[in-house]
Amino acid sequence: MVAAAFIGPGTVTTASVTGARFGYALVWTIAFSIVATIVLQEMSARLGLVSREGLGEALREQFDNPALSGLSIALVVSAIGIGTAAYETGNILGGAAGLEGLTGISANLWGPAMGLVAGVLLWSGKYKLIEKALVGLVSIMAVSFLIDAVLIGPDLGALARGFVPSVPQGSAFLITGLIGTTVVGYNLFLHAGSVQERWAGPEELHESRADTVLSIVLGGFITISILVTAAAAFPVGTNIQNVSTMAEQLEPLVGTQAKVFFGIGLFAAGFTSATTAPLAGAYATAGALGWDTDLQSTKFRAVWGSILLVGIVFSAVGYSPVQAIVFAQVANGVLLPIVAVFLIYVMNDRDILGSYANSTLQNVVGGLVTLVVVWLGLRTLYTVAADMGVF
């Protein structure tokens, strides 16, 4: 479920834009993101398995002071609400753009239709059905890029050098976006809730960890393969402005049918994330407010329905898919530190986790990951403000 959530149009778009503009130079960012995601998602899964609570519920119970409790709830609801709403617009626009490339019918018509179908799937309230549908669709997109990354013949030397951290001029915005498309704040809430549907309790923590690591590493390889295909297909410095340009990176694999295959993959990626973003927002909001997090609960459905509605409305208006999707990744990169700090705080509560609370090593590693994402978030805010002439 978590892998399906972060392999969306944001992954395809941001990795493609980055590869086209900076070649292989920012591969290290994805490598860091894989490690950071494993660290934080493992904590989230452990919390859900041991406490049988979501991250939202756990945060709500942390503070005895009503003011602090209210502030934490407000931060969670607003951060996740903004993040999932921004993502949902990009998710639906991305998937609709893929369908437009296949059919010639406007994405402004496909967007609302796709949102409604996602709503029907969520309304079913059947976790296994939702999970199977998402994994199947992600597989379609994953196979295309993994094969193409091999066939396109990347520069292996340049690819290896890309794992050495560097920050090329003008890349800060996209670095935060790449991290934002992998280390997704709302996925921490989604994971803590969804593991309770799949695993029985802490005795299955080993299986849960193996599942988490395997899924995230595979997702990271997919992201790298997308960046690699763009870096090899376009001259360094290319600015991708539309979906048709992105599709060109598949030409080494499928020739003149590149737009068709890319459209299928982009739709699959968009639909999976358009389903998981509202679900994650519902887990976070309902948990923080003390509502029932059952998939068939009326309030739970009201939350994901509201987030889905935002995406449907904005997709009908006609924003640029590329710009909306990249903005969503950067918004998440800025909001992520708030969620990460809360997660580490909760994971040190031995009253609810007992011997499963964070060790010193887990706190150190989690703290380092959080410091990096805080620094990147602040750097991005500074860069955006400078571009706007604030400084």
For residue 247, what are the CA distances in angstroms to 4, 29, 159, 250?
21, 23, 21, 6
- How many of the other CB atoms lie within 10 Å of CB of 108? 15
Q: Per-residue pLDDT tens for 43-58? A: 999 999 998 888 878 8
Asked whether residue 325 carries a pLDDT value surpassing 60, the answer given is no
Domain residue spans of the chain: 2-388
For residues 240 and 20, give the distance between their C-alpha atoms in angstroms, rounded to a whole number.
Answer: 7
Query: What are the distances in angstroms from CA 63 to CA 68, 70, 110, 161, 345?
Result: 6, 9, 45, 46, 11
What's the mean pLDDT in 295-301? 87
Give the integer Cα–Cα distance in Å for 6 and 220.
Answer: 10
pLDDT, position 40: 92
Average pLDDT on 105-125 reads 87
- In whole angstroms, what separates CA 240 from the centre of its chain? 21
Identify which of 293, 277, 260, 291 has the alpha carbon closest to the alpha carbon of residue 185.
277
- DSSP track, 153-191: ---HHHHHHTTS----TT-HHHHHHHHHHHS-HHHHHHH
For residue range 255-269, what is the model confidence (pLDDT) as tens digits? 767 777 777 778 888
Q: Which residue has the higher pLDDT, 178 or 389?
A: 178
- Region 288-295: mean pLDDT is 82
How far apart (Å, rounded) are the C-alpha atoms in residues 91 and 7?
A: 10
Give the residue-averaged pLDDT of 191-212: 87
pLDDT per position as a tens digit, 212-267: 998 898 888 888 988 988 888 888 888 877 666 777 766 766 676 777 777 777 88
Q: Quick check: helix, strand or coil at residue 328? A: helix
Mean pLDDT comparison of 77-81, 270-274, 334-338, 372-376, highest-scoring range = 270-274
Higher-confidence residue: 143 or 223? 223
State yes or no: pLDDT of 103 exceeds 90: no
Q: The domain 2-388 is classified under which CATH number: 1.25.60.10, 1.20.1740.10, 3.40.50.12280, 1.10.760.10?
A: 1.20.1740.10
Whether residue 359 has pLDDT greater than 90:
yes
Question: How high is the pLDDT of residue 29?
Answer: 92
What does DSSP assign to residue 357?
Answer: S
